Amino acid sequence: MNLISEAEAGIQSLFNATQKGFVGDASAGQNQISNWLQYLRSGDQKILGPIVQELEALTAHIGNNDPAGMAAAFQRMGELTAQSALGTHNFQGNGDKIRELSQKLITAAGNLRLVAKAQAARH
**Domain encompassing residue 90:** 3-122
Higher-confidence residue: 15 or 104?
104
Residue-level pLDDT at 47 = 67
The whole-model pTM stands at 0.76
Question: What CATH number is attached to the domain comprising 104?
Answer: 1.20.120
55-80 confidence digits (pLDDT tens): 899 888 888 888 899 899 999 999 98
3-state secondary structure of 72: helix
| Domain total in the chain | 1
